[in-house]
Every structure is written in C-alpha cells, then in structure tokens.
Amino acid sequence: MKLASYPSPNQGARRGGARPDIVLLHYTAMPDTETVLKRLANPEAEVSAHYVISPEGGVWQMVDEAARAWHAGAGRWGGCDDVNSRSIGIEIVNTAVEPFSAPQMRSVEALVAGIMARWAVPPERVLGHSDIAPGRKIDPGPRFDWRRLALQGMAVWSEARGEAADWDRFCQDARVFGYTAEVERDVLLTAFRDRFRPGAKGALEGMDCARMADLAARYPVDAELPQV
C-alpha cells in the first residue's frame, strides 16, 4: 500500500509499555481530506490519528504505529479504559451522510489487514468508536459495512436469530463481549444495532439478544489482555 506522510505533533508514548491490540475505526464528519489533515496536525486541536483515508482511497500516516495517537478519548472496552494506549486509530473521511466509497473501503481493508498482521490483532479487536464510547460517539455509523470486513476475517459478525427479548441477558452478554462503558441500556442498544443490525429501530428484540449472546459466546473479552 502506498502511504503519504503528514506528521502530527499530537502524540506521545503508549502508557505502561502497552502495545496496540485494538484497531479503532472512525469517520471524520468533516467535508474534505485537507481539512481533516490540518485539524489533526494542529497542536491546539489536541487530536490526531495514526492514519487518514480519503474518499478516493488515499492513505496518510500521521503518527507512527508504535506511538500513542489522540483519537479515542474517554471510553472502555472490556477491562481497557486507556484505549489510546492500546489502539491504532484510523480516520475515514466521510461526512456521515454518504456511503463509504469503493476505493476508500479497499484502502480500509488493506490497511487493517496490514495492522492486524504486524501487531497480531484478532478480528474481535477491530472496533468502531461507538463500541468503546456508546452515545458519546456514533462513528463509523450504520453506513459502514462491518459485514464486508468480517467476511474477510477483519472483524466479527453475527446473523443469529431466535431468543426472547430479555434486557438483563442482553446487558450481561454485552459486557462479556466487551461493551463495558457505563451507559443507559437504550444507548447501548443503538450502538450495537448501528454495527450489527443497521437500520433496526424500536424496542429490544429477540434478534438483538440472539446476536449479542452469539458474539459473547464466541468472543468473550479478557478483563485485561497481558502486555508483551
């Protein structure tokens, strides 16, 4: 993959000797790539990402993968509450109202595959910003094709059906899978559906419970992965 360089000063060392074991996907909600790059390189903004991907499929590296970029903010996945120290952040240029382009998705796939190989990141640790911060963040949103990534082993997916609607079971399974941020249950449901049931609305359904139970059974998150 061809990379362009656009260094950002907004970075630091990963805390506690942490290594990245999460790939975190975002959308920018900004209109164009140049605006995104300038903002993520502005010291006053105090935000950054390791990579930016344009709608045309161009990829810019802003922070070395070994360093800690400032993209996740407050959030939690499993026992990890310093997601910046444990993740590699990818900003996908998208205003949140249009589909992700085909060239852009191909670059996402190539970049994610390389990161997973370099850092031994399992597919269940390829996450969206809304997974680690439900309600506070909604990106990469329901238009992002998680199933497409999952079919290539770059994310996880479920098409389980059945089950009765049971909030207690849904929330319990959510924590086992990794949704440990403290949020209201309707906020959790929205974040889950945006990723695993895009377009679903209304009250909790059996399909929500079935899919969450399936994911929890197959991909239970460790309370805290050992650092190596």
| Whole-number Å distance between alpha carbons of 78 and 83 | 10
What CATH fold (topology level) applies to the domain 4-151? Lysozyme-like (3.40.80)
Least confident of 72-76, 176-180, 222-226: 222-226
List the structure tokens of 94. Answer: 């998208």
Confidence of residue 77 (pLDDT cuts 50, 70, 90): very high
Confidence of residue 226 (pLDDT cuts 50, 70, 90): very low
Tell me the H-state helices in the chain: 33-40, 83-86, 102-119, 129-132, 146-151, 167-177, 185-196, 206-218
Nearest to 131 by CA among 26, 18, 14: 26
22 vs 71, 118, 132, 139, 161, CA distance in Å? Answer: 13, 12, 11, 16, 28
String of DSSP letters for 120-147: T--GGGEEEHHHHSBTTB-TT-TTS-HH
Looking at the whole model, is its pTM more than 0.75? Answer: yes
List the structure tokens of 64. Answer: 């070395």
| Whole-number Å distance between alpha carbons of 121 and 56 | 26
| Residue extents of the structural domains in the chain | 4-151, 167-218
Are β-strands 68-69 and 59-61 bridged in parallel, bridged antiparallel, or unpaired?
Answer: unpaired
Q: Which residues are catalytic?
A: 91
Per-residue pLDDT at 125: 98
| Whole-number Å distance between alpha carbons of 46 and 8 | 10
Confidence of residue 223 (pLDDT cuts 50, 70, 90): very low
Q: Is 108 helix (H, G, I), strand (E, B) or coil?
A: helix
The model's pLDDT over 138-191, given as tens digits with 9 standing for 90+, comes to 999 999 999 999 999 999 999 999 889 999 999 999 999 999 999 999 999 999
